[in-house]
Structure 1
Amino acid sequence: MRELGSAGSSEDGPVFVGDGRYELIRHLGSGGMGDVVAARDVRLDRRVALKFLGAARLTGATPGSERHIRALELFVREGHTMARVDHTYVATIYDCDVGGADPFLVMEHVDGRPLTEYVGGDPLLLEQTVRWSGQIAEGLAAAHREGVMHRDIKPANILITHDNSEVRIIDFGLARFADATESHTDMGTPLYRSPERCRFESGDERSDLYSLGCVMYEMVTGWPPFGDRHSDAAALAKEHQHRSPVRPARQVPDVPDALDGLIMALLAKNPADRPQNAHAVVRALQEVERTLEAMAAKRRLVSGHTAPQVDAGFTERIRVTEKRVRRLTLQFGPAHGETLAARSELAELTGESGDERGAMELYEQMGRDCQRRYGPHDHRALDAFEKMTRWIEGGYER
């Protein structure tokens, strides 16, 4: 594939592939399986993403050889399999092209960021964790219903959309392609790999659920259940097979028992001890959501507020407010008056939903942003830190 500049065109002008149907726009990223490029479907005039696979590099086979041809046939079959998955939370596969030097998949262009940009430090808000985990589980349930396993669930393969903060799972089936072609590519560190996958077994639907448990563990605590991105792969594989992680609730305050228990069940070494299927995980997360809402109702009742219904609708209200915060931040910046008002509303909703730690962290970040923009003693920064302190001391209960 010809080298693309940052704007998409090469030095020789626009680049087209797929017999001229797809105009390459810009390079989006690279991984063990190949390159991802934003493109335009000229025929339908829509944005798409192309996932290029260096088949010769992946298989170690000479282009045109029998082994290379078999790999391309397998790639087409896997493309057809992936295209069967039709669900809101799974990136749609539109086409598969093997006519050029580098075969590629044509998929839905997702305007968003990978979950890797949200995790890897501080825990996520509990509401975010439960909402996004439920969406991942729903996407997996739809795929498993079609007999399609992902085999490589990890934050890099989970995109969060900019417009409505929803999940899109990408790269279904590519790990199977790598396995079947005996590829030795780096499919990512085994931070999220099930014990059976660490033993190079094919696994089943519950292998995806173990990986989901690893992702949820990182969302709740800020780090994966074992090691980090610099850990030795063989050592990580042994830990997945033989060591039990520390329970999330022992590391982070305010993690509901139901969520803590679900994550530990997903991380069971024996697949038979994990939830039966992704639908069961969806139902369990719905119960966690109801628990958070009941906690919020109790908090407001104790504080003297008018008691709401148990279903306080926090999930939808937080989602809508998150969207408004992102829009205002892009338009005005993080410390503009309108943005700060929306961020304060989001922090209060987060605390009222039962996530006092989340409210505290949102106000702390607001204070730091105001200090950077207006100075260390600005009243907006001091106000944010005062509200942070209120949630540290118990929010409405004080």
Structure 2
Amino acid sequence: MLKPGMILCDRYEILDVVGAGGMSIVYKARDHRLNRNVAIKVLKPEFSNDKNFVTKFRIEAQASAGLTHPNIVNVYDVVDDEGIYCIVMELVEGITLKQYIEQNGRLNMETAINFSIQIASGLEAAHENHIIHRDIKPQNIIVSKNGNIKVTDFGIAKAASSNTLTSGAMGSVHYISPEQARGGYSDERSDIYSLGITMYEMVTGRVPFEGDNNVSVALMHIQNEMIPPRQYYPDIYTSFEKIILKATQKKPERRYLTASALIADLKRVQNNPNIDIVVAPTSITNSPTQEWTKEDVQAIRNGSANRDLYSQPYDNPPVSQEMGEIRPIGYNSTPQANNGRINELLQEDDDEWEEDDYEPEPQPKRGNLKKVQDYDDDEELEEEEDPDGIDPGIRKAVTIAGVATAVIIAIIIIVVLGNVLGWFKFGSKKDNKNKITTEEVQSIAMISFTGVSEDAALKMLSDAGFTNVKTEHVEDEKTQEGYVFEQSVKEGETIPADQEIVLKVSAGAEEVDVPDVKNYEDSQAVTILTEAGFEVSHAYEYSDDVEKDKVIKTDPEGGTKAAKGSKVIVTVSNGSEKKEVEVPNLGGLTEAQARDSLSSKKLSAGNVTHANSDSVAAGMVISQNPARGTTVTEGDSVDFVISDGPEQKEKKYTAKISGTISRVDEVSVPDETAVTVQVQFNGQVVYSKDIQISPNASYEVSATVPGLSSTGGSASLIIVDVSGNNVTAAFSGTTPEVSYSEE
């Protein structure tokens, strides 16, 4: 494990650990050459010691480095420093989608669709460059602080899939596609499956399959049908649920074939949640190889024969569910009633049901027998040599007899049914009142057209046999323009084919003025736009002109008109775009030079103080905070200290006071009188001595006063008797001499 402060390739300084995965550890680092922070993903030793793996890893990582897209974490460099293999990537400040779901719970529909479009956009860019991720999961998707989505770890999964790895190093099995779980070939559609599982988790807060171990979960992806999301939460859009179910089909050919097709449907749902999404029929999920009994084979043969009689296409075979097939959406047992709708659905999804590289194998020529195939492109059931040993001529005769019998039965059924419904005029005429004089009109069950485009609805009604359809275009802010939002006949109601049906089609919402909220506080702008009848979403940009958290612009622009209830994108300022810079060295500069140096880095001078220094000349910078080389953001301030030179020590002086006193007034102070002599300096008593007066005697008085800050001052002698009387006047020499010396 690398430690903070280590330098890789004489360029990347390790700053801190960001996270760890099964194959690598991610560090935050500083690129000193380009002066920016980066993320470095370092391979763990068990992989970096495998030369084959490292070679493939490097090739894939270098291919990923060619990807540049707003929804992909950019790869800057692939380096090798004395056996340490790592990828240098864009550093994205944020959390993984897994952590985002854990912190916020399941996502609302708007957020889930927005995130899904961004993830799919990243995959689209990668797929266009022939790069498959192979490990799409919430742990490999980063939600940045501004809400943007970044997909990471491109190329690593492919290198991993070609080596024998520990279970801890592999991507989570909860998001693996069935073909990957089987160890088969994976392509772009494998990523789409994993994204489908990720979308499932975004709206439900859980993964569809849970098991005791990886093997059991992988088998569930191959065999089990997932519980539809709306069974957990009915508020999930039906259209979004259909996208998830389509993306997670077991068979790759039944999923979205491209990320572009997925994005197109996601945007349709984003614009109109009620839109209808076509989902392919559920595939056979128990095994890639279907096993057939003799009864199944005979049933298919009979179905084939009957289909020849009725000239029905093989696109939607009415095979029972017991044989492993589920009927397509819209199928029922009446070919004429629903054939148009089925063909329409299949035609809409035709491009996604076919493989570009699929080539049908030559069909065996054995009489009139045909190959019967299920929906699997790679499985077929051909006529084999008769295992029962029955003579082919006899079998052919029996087959012809069976066909003839089926024809006769079909004719009888048609005649009887026609007679009951009045198609044919059989039987006696009882009287003129009951006589049918006009052709009876067929009754047909109504289906729902809510959320369907006007053209599609009219075609579906026509195909179903309805002949009297009218449309009304009405303003409706909840439904996309040109789509049906109401019908006069309810779904499931049976009516004559010529009964009038009125479809209300949205003419779009009423257009109203978009308020101009530029330079408003974000919260104020949201209130104004909401009150005007608009939905609000946000985008964020840096701006040198608009203050942080104020509105830069709106889309549509203020002053224009837009449909009431439509979405207005409010772009909010993040303030000036501030880059990270290193603090320059201010040591030894003058204050003016220090300020200029900081300004050149777009930094400012903070608190400037002064201090004495024996080593730094007066007027120069002694120290700074933050220290030189520290990474800060443009606009930050730096404190520094200016030298006042060496500290100047204050001189101290000692005063010496001396003098001689003698008595001159024997009356006031008789012999043998006890007195106290006090020495005062600048009004303060600094010395005191008791003496007894003798005849004709004189007395020496001296004192010292240390710690004076200057020379000069006044000194005097004061004599008092035992009663406290001042008797100084009775003595001479009471003004002493004062001399000074420097300490």
> 1:308, 1:47 → 2: CA distance?
49
Identity %: 34
> 2:538, 2:175 → 1: CA distance?
27
Change in Cα spacing, 1:293 to 1:246, as seen in structure 2 (3 Å) is closer
Give the equivalent residue in structure 1 for 2:205.
Answer: 222
8 Å contact kept, 1:118–1:124 = no
8 Å contact kept, 2:176–2:194 = yes
Give the equivalent residue in structure 2 for 1:58.
Answer: 47
> 2:38, 2:193 → 1: CA distance?
31
Aligned-residue offset at 1:80 = 1.4
What SS does the aligned partner of 1:119 have? helix
Alignment-mate amino acid for residue 74 of structure 2: T
1:318 and 2:537 are equivalent in the alignment: yes
CA deviations 1:221-246 (Å, max 9, x no partner) are 1111112xx74211110110011111
What TM-score, normalized by structure 1, do the two folds share? 0.69
What SS does the aligned partner of 1:148 have? coil
Give the equivalent residue in structure 2 for 1:340.
Answer: none
Give the equivalent residue in structure 2 for 1:35.
Answer: 25
8 Å contact kept, 1:178–1:185 = no
Alignment-mate amino acid for residue 129 of structure 2: E
More contact order relative to length (CA 8 Å, sep ≥ 6): 1
Aligned-residue offset at 1:189 = 2.7
Change in Cα spacing, 1:261 to 1:272, as seen in structure 2 (3 Å) is same
Structure 1 gap ranges (5+):
300-305, 322-330, 332-351, 355-398
Residues 165-176 of structure 1: pairs in structure 2 closer than 5 A = 165-176=147-158
> 1:291, 1:98 → 2: CA distance?
50
Give the equivalent residue in structure 2 for 1:142.
Answer: 125
Give the equivalent residue in structure 1 for 2:161.
Answer: 179
Q: Which has the higher strand share?
A: 2
> 2:30, 2:93 → 1: CA distance?
14
Give the equivalent residue in structure 2 for 1:274.
Answer: 255
Whose Rg is larger?
2
> 2:510, 2:86 → 1: CA distance?
52
Change in Cα spacing, 1:290 to 1:87, as seen in structure 2 (3 Å) is same
Aligned-residue offset at 1:125 = 1.1
Given the alignment, which residue of 198, 213, 220 partners 2:181? 198
Give the equivalent residue in structure 2 for 1:298.
Answer: 478
CA deviations 1:66-103 (Å, max 9, x no partner) are xx333332222112111121111000000001232320
> 1:105, 1:136 → 2: CA distance?
21
1:247 and 2:228 are equivalent in the alignment: yes
> 2:250, 2:148 → 1: CA distance?
30
What SS does the aligned partner of 1:124 have? coil
Give the equivalent residue in structure 2 for 1:78.
Answer: 60
8 Å contact kept, 1:194–1:211 = yes
Alignment-mate amino acid for residue 57 of structure 1: E
CA deviations 1:132-154 (Å, max 9, x no partner) are 00000010000000000000000
> 2:126, 2:86 → 1: CA distance?
21
> 2:37, 2:535 → 1: CA distance?
29
Give the equivalent residue in structure 2 for 1:357.
Answer: none
Change in Cα spacing, 1:173 to 1:203, as seen in structure 2 (3 Å) is same
Residues 110-189 of structure 1: pairs in structure 2 closer than 5 A = 110-120=92-102, 122-162=105-145, 164-186=146-168, 187-189=170-172
CA deviations 1:231-288 (Å, max 9, x no partner) are 4211110110011111112221222221111100011000000011100010010001
What SS does the aligned partner of 1:210 have? helix
8 Å contact kept, 1:58–1:178 = no
8 Å contact kept, 2:96–2:143 = yes
8 Å contact kept, 1:133–1:216 = yes
Alignment-mate amino acid for residue 51 of structure 2: I
Alignment-mate amino acid for residue 233 of structure 1: N
What SS does the aligned partner of 1:75 have? helix
8 Å contact kept, 1:33–1:185 = no
Give the equivalent residue in structure 1 for 2:270.
Answer: 289
CA deviations 1:341-398 (Å, max 9, x no partner) are xxxxxxxxxxx899xxxxxxxxxxxxxxxxxxxxxxxxxxxxxxxxxxxxxxxxxxxx
Structure 2 gap ranges (5+):
276-450, 452-475, 480-507, 515-528, 541-548, 550-564, 568-743
Give the equivalent residue in structure 1 for 2:12.
Answer: 22
8 Å contact kept, 1:292–1:353 = no
Give the equivalent residue in structure 1 for 2:561.
Answer: none
1:209 and 2:207 are equivalent in the alignment: no
Give the equivalent residue in structure 2 for 1:303.
Answer: none
> 1:58, 1:184 → 2: CA distance?
10
Alignment-mate amino acid for residue 318 of structure 1: S
Aligned-residue offset at 1:115 = 0.3
CA deviations 1:301-343 (Å, max 9, x no partner) are xxxxx95569x9999933449xxxxxxxxx9xxxxxxxxxxxx
Give the equivalent residue in structure 1 for 2:645.
Answer: none
May I ask how many residue pairs the two structures share in their alignment? 299
Alignment-mate amino acid for residue 239 of structure 1: M
Change in Cα spacing, 1:254 to 1:150, as seen in structure 2 (3 Å) is same
> 1:235, 1:259 → 2: CA distance?
28
> 2:141, 2:86 → 1: CA distance?
20
> 2:177, 2:195 → 1: CA distance?
10
8 Å contact kept, 2:179–2:186 = yes
1:238 and 2:418 are equivalent in the alignment: no
What SS does the aligned partner of 1:317 have? strand
Give the equivalent residue in structure 2 for 1:98.
Answer: 80
> 2:6, 2:273 → 1: CA distance?
51
> 1:316, 1:203 → 2: CA distance?
41
> 2:86, 2:34 → 1: CA distance?
18
Residues 1-12 of structure 1: pairs in structure 2 closer than 5 A = 1-2=1-2, 4=3, 9=4
What SS does the aligned partner of 1:23 have? strand
> 1:122, 1:309 → 2: CA distance?
36
What SS does the aligned partner of 1:165 have? coil
8 Å contact kept, 1:206–1:271 = yes
8 Å contact kept, 2:31–2:37 = yes
> 1:319, 1:221 → 2: CA distance?
24
Aligned-residue offset at 1:293 = 9.6
> 1:211, 1:36 → 2: CA distance?
23
Q: Which has the higher helix share?
A: 1
Aligned-residue offset at 1:183 = 2.4
CA deviations 1:28-72 (Å, max 9, x no partner) are 011101100011111000111000012x4027xxx4xxxx33333
> 2:234, 2:274 → 1: CA distance?
17
1:258 and 2:239 are equivalent in the alignment: yes
Alignment-mate amino acid for residue 33 of structure 1: M
> 1:100, 1:231 → 2: CA distance?
41
Aligned-residue offset at 1:173 = 1.1
8 Å contact kept, 2:27–2:39 = yes
What SS does the aligned partner of 2:478 have? helix
